[in-house]
Structure 1
Amino acid sequence: MPRILLAEDDDSLRGFLTRALERAGYEVTSCADGDEAAAVLDQPWDLLLTDIVMPGMDGIEVARLAAQKHPGLRIMFITGFAAVALAAGESGPPGAKVLSKPIHLREIVTEVEKMMAAA
């Protein structure tokens, strides 16, 4: 079963994403912020799905650290800030996907499925 590390500081969105991805057949470990996600990066992951703007370590920092530890790791950012999304596309790890909020859960699941199939 593919493993997803989810970092999202919004409790309700984190819960919705976790349930939607688990229903789609993924094993999801959800973290409330970037620091919590960084603490479990030594485990094997198939995808990092992270918000960009979070307290403590932001999503771009988590993604850079994850890419160093796991070259080739699939990375997807979600953000509610257009300027941040643009910056993430320019400064995030190569091949990372950026989705802007608001986004429908089905769309996120579809994008995750596309990234997983591209491997």
Structure 2
Amino acid sequence: MRQVLVLEDDDDLRGMLCDLLRMYGVTACVDVDSFEALVQQRDAALGCELALLDVNLGAGVQSGLDALDWLLAQAYRGRAVFLTGHARSHPLVRLAYEQTQVKVLAKPVDSRALRALLEEPRGA
């Protein structure tokens, strides 16, 4: 896998995820901390084969679900995985689980689960 998008509002976690991804062979990590930053990085984001999207980016701002909707509207062809530190009962997390073809991983993300994502075929 060449390029992965990481949308995560926690700077430390975003950096750690990108470091792990590079260690696992990803050549580029497009890391953004908000929906607005994602839009600014449109071309790079659309070239990613995998998008790791934090479900909840904070109160009163667009969520990872909004980011997925935007990516799909832009003809994004890669896979998407939601990340969350909230309970399954949280309204945004419930909506994330309702998405078809999108996995949801709990934070902290297990490094083995992250590596497995990189090894999955596109349709998995």
User: TM-score, normalising length from structure 1?
Assistant: 0.83
C-alpha distance 29-72 of structure 1, shift in aligned 2 (>3 A):
closer
Match of 2:25 in 1: 25
RMSD of aligned residue pairs (Cα, Å): 1.8
Contact 2:49 2:77 in 1 (8 A): no
Does the residue aligned with 2:62 lie in a helix, a strand or coil?
coil
Whether the aligned pair in 2 keeps the contact of 1:9 and 1:32 (CA below 8 Å) is yes
Query: In structure 2, do the counterparts of structure 1 residues 45 and 70 end up closer, same or farther at CA, with 3 Å as the change threshold?
Result: farther
**Paired position in structure 1 for 2:37:** 36
Gaps (5+ residues) in structure 1? none
Residue 105 of structure 2 aligns with which residue? Answer: 99
* Contact 1:76-1:98 within 8 A present in 2 as well: yes
CA deviation after TM superposition for structure 1 residue 57, in Å = 2.1
Q: Give the deviation of 1:71 after TM superposition.
A: 4.6
Q: Where in structure 2 are there 5+ consecutive unaligned residues?
A: none
In the superposition, the TM-score normalised over structure 2's length comes to 0.81
Match of 2:95 in 1: 87
Q: Is 1:118 aligned to 2:122, yes or no? A: yes
Q: What do the CA deviations read for 1:9-48 (whole angstroms, capped 9, x no partner)?
A: 1111111100000111112111112221122223322111
98 and 112 in structure 1: CA distance in 2 versus 1, 3 angstrom threshold = farther
Instruction: Report if the CA contact (8 A) 2:79-2:122 is conserved.
Output: no
Runs of 4 or more above 2 Å deviation: 70-73, 83-86
